[in-house]
Each structure stands twice: as C-alpha cells, then as structure tokens.
Amino acid sequence: ANNGTDAPFYWAGTGTMATITAWPAGYTCASLRPFKNYLVAVNITKSGTNYPHLVLWSSEADPGSLPTSWDVTDKTKNAGDSPAMADDPSLAVDQLPLGDANILYKENAIYSMVLSGNDFIFNINRLPIPFGARGRNCVANTPLGHVVLTHGDVILHNGSTFKQIATGRIRKWLSDNIDGANRSRCFVVTSPRFNEVWICFPALSQTKCTRAAVWNWIDDTWSVRSLPNVTFGAIGQIDASLISVWDSDSDAWDNDQSLWDQNELSEGQAHLLMGCDIGLSSGIAATDMSITENGDDFAAEMERKGISFDDPATVKSLRAIWPRIKGTSGQKVLITSGATMDIEQAVTWGSPVEYTIGSSQKADLPFSTGRFLAIRFDSVDNAPFRVDSFDLDYTVRGLY
C-alpha cells in the first residue's frame, strides 16, 4: 500500500501492515507497483527533495517474497534507477503492467519499461501516444489494453496504437461534471463479470466519488451510474461462506436474477468491490451481486436527446412512440418526451406515460414541440429492461 506521503507498506496476510523491508530511509513515491519480480516506484522524493521524473526499481525478489535491496550503488544487486522520463516536464503519476511491459504514466506522456537483458536491467522509451493519465489510479487493464482517464478524454491503447473511446457527448459530460477541487480522487476500475470499465469521480461540489461513466468493452457502449460516496474500487474475491440463503434473499421472486442453487460467491469469481459510505455507516460493497443498491431499488433511466431527423431548422411536435422493449411481461416502464429549440439548451420534459411490456403497443405522449426532440425511459419495477429500438410519430410545424 502506498499513500505518497509515508514509506510504502505491505501486509503479510496476518497482523498489521508494516513498512516494506529495505525501503530507503527518507524516500517516498507517487506510485509503487510490482512488475515481473521487481517492485517499481515513480516520482521519488528523497528527504524532502522531489524527483518527479525518476523511476526506481528494487532488486529482483523470489516469488512471494519482498526484495532485499533498493540500493542502486550496490553492484551485487540489480536495483537501479533512471531519469529516462525527464524529456516530458509533466509529473509521473502511475504505472500498470501490459503484457511484457510496465507502462509508466505521466500527466501528459506515456512510457514503456521492459527488461533489457543487459546490465541496464530495464529499457524505458516514450510511446507515440499524445496523452497521459489524469492522476494515480486512473488506468485499468482490459483484454483490449489499458483504458486511461486523461485530462479531458478517455483512451484505450495496446502499447503502440490508441483509440479515443469516449463519444463526444460522454466526453463533454465527464469534463463538465468532474469536481475540479477533488479531481485527484478520480479512479478507473474494471468489472470483469460484466466486461465493464468504471470511471468513477466526484461530481460537482462533492468530495467523494458519486458518479461513474461505465464503458462496456464488448458492446462499445456507455452508461452512467450514481455511486454512494465511494472512496476507492478494486477487483477481489468474496468469502464463499457468505453464500445467499433463502431467508436472506430480499429480491422479489419475479425479479430475482440469481439461479436456483447458484453459488454467487464462487471463490474463483472476480468481483468489483468498492469502499463507500452507505447511509450512516461505511463499508465494502459488491457492485455485481444484486439488482438492488444496499436493499434499495435502482432508479434506471435511458435518454436519447437531440433528435432532429436530419432537419434541425424545422420545428416538430412529437405525438407518440412505438417502442420495442424487452423485459418481463407485465413490467412497467415510464416514457417521457421532451424538446428544445436550441441543441445547447436544456430539454423541457413533459409528463411521463406508463408503458406495460407485453401488452402496450405504443405510448401516446403529451405534445413536445421544438427543433430537437428527446425521449426518456425510466424504470418503475425493480427489474432489468432493454430498449432495442423505437419509432416516433411526429409532425412538422414549420420554421418557427
């Protein structure tokens, strides 16, 4: 564990945490992570003097043990350091292995660290990617590569090529909603069970993470979630003895998504776990174990804004919708229409109309008039639903 202020700590599996053995006295670092049989630290402070571009690595350690030396002057060990990241003036903030390379992140640059096979131990080279990481813990590993929250964007890269994965709308939403004073508390983490990357951040005027932009790397889709004052997230296993029993299952029979005789807490299953404030207490919460949020129903919504039918100059009135929604027969969904005259203005929403899956064919909507139309779907019953597509009935009113 490393907080950037104290010497790094380790936990041996029992008892309390202790300072890493052989760590140099008076040293701290911005990031410390394992790579191969080494520990690697970046952005080093030595007795109060900061070296923001320095990379420091330990001697090679046996599997399951700590390194015995960080002394770069000891020729009998292979500990060392390198200022190779000094060509970029921004701060080194974090690192994360990717295949056979350790990817080093600065605020505005990315480097690759690989074993050299010679006395230099490691080669460090800058990657041709014109981005960096917003801060510590703003990188997550996926089967496609690293997902990185940068200053103003979200990228996916494989160590050589990169792709900007945030659409224009989600990119702007992230930029507009991250609280500037607490931006250092942003973090990026994966939910392997659902093939998702969660970009968690404090919303405006919040000190803890209260929102997440979620990217699914299989579908290449985005969604947004609320968070209960989250401080951090990580992948981990849950004790299988905590398996659900009949009396402890609070989900309604028709809505329960678990399987009969299913062990939801298989020790081999990786879960996204988050430290958060829930109600009057704090704790660790699993994000993928239930269709409720700490016993409360989720409030799910889906929106489509800026609908102009390729004719943004004309004023239109929206009258009805024919949606194709999949879910449980009898399940209720609220459909709301809205409109705005200017794409940059907020949508004016009408009154919601109830739609019943399996029996409703269309929803007659209160007239919403504007150049740009909008549709919103809201959950009523605590059960998942999916909107595959929809047709709209509208009329053109003219230019004004």
Compute CA 118 distance to the chain's CA centroid, rounded to the nearest angstrom. 38
100-104 — which CB contacts under 8 Å span 24+ positions?
Answer: 101/159, 102/33, 102/35, 102/36, 102/40, 103/127, 103/139, 103/146, 103/159, 104/42, 104/55
pLDDT in tens, 208-252: 999 999 999 999 999 999 998 999 999 887 766 555 566 666 666
Residue 280 has pLDDT above 70, yes or no: no
Do 287 and 273 touch, CB atoms closer than 8 A?
yes
Delimiting residues of CATH 2.120.10 domain(s) in the chain: 9-227
- The strand pair at 348-349 and 281-286 is best described as unpaired
What pLDDT does residue 261 have? 57
Task: Evaluate if residue 291 carries a pLDDT over 90.
Answer: no
The ranges of the chain annotated as CATH 2.60.120 are 301-398
Per-residue pLDDT tens over the stretch 305-353: 999 999 999 999 999 999 999 999 999 999 999 999 999 899 999 999 9
- For 108-130, what is each residue's pLDDT tens digit? 999 999 999 998 999 999 999 99
Residue 253 has pLDDT above 90, yes or no: no
Residue range 183-212, pLDDT digits in tens = 999 999 999 999 999 999 999 999 999 999
What's the pLDDT at 330? 93
Q: Which residue did the predictor score with more confidence, 295 or 314?
A: 314
**What is the Cα–Cα distance from 352 to 342, expressed in whole angstroms?**
22
Q: Say if domain 301-398 classifies as CATH 2.60.120.
A: yes
| CA nearest to 67, candidates 40, 44, 92, 86 | 40
Contact 222, 215 (CB under 8 A): yes
The pLDDT value recorded for residue 293 is 60
List, for residues 11-51, the tens digit of each pLDDT value: 998 999 999 999 999 999 999 999 999 999 999 999 999 99
pLDDT at 84 over 90: yes
Answer yes or no: is pLDDT of 86 > 80: yes
Query: Bigger pLDDT: 327 or 292?
Result: 327
Convert the pLDDT of each residue in 139-184 to its tens digit: 999 999 999 999 999 999 999 999 999 988 899 999 999 999 999 9
Question: Mean of the pLDDT values across residues 293-311?
Answer: 81
pLDDT at 317: 96
Predicted local distance difference test score (pLDDT) of residue 287: 76
Please name the CATH architecture into which domain 9-227 falls: 6 Propeller (2.120)
Strand ranges in 287-371 using DSSP code E only, listed in sequence order: 292-293, 296-297, 301-307, 315-326, 332-340, 348-349, 353-356, 363-370
pLDDT-derived band at 300 (thresholds 50, 70, 90) equals confident
Residues 379 and 385 sit within 8 Å (Cβ to Cβ): yes
- pLDDT for 13 equals 87
CA distances (Å), origin 194, targets 142, 158, 191, 215, 378: 12, 21, 6, 10, 22
Whether 264 has a pLDDT exceeding 60, the answer reads no
Per-residue model confidence as pLDDT tens digits over 342-385: 998 999 999 999 999 999 999 999 999 999 999 999 988 878 88
pLDDT at residue 269 in the model: 76
pLDDT for residue 36: 96
Q: Which pLDDT does position 239 carry in this prediction?
A: 67
Which pLDDT score is estimated for 278? 66
pLDDT of residue 104: 99
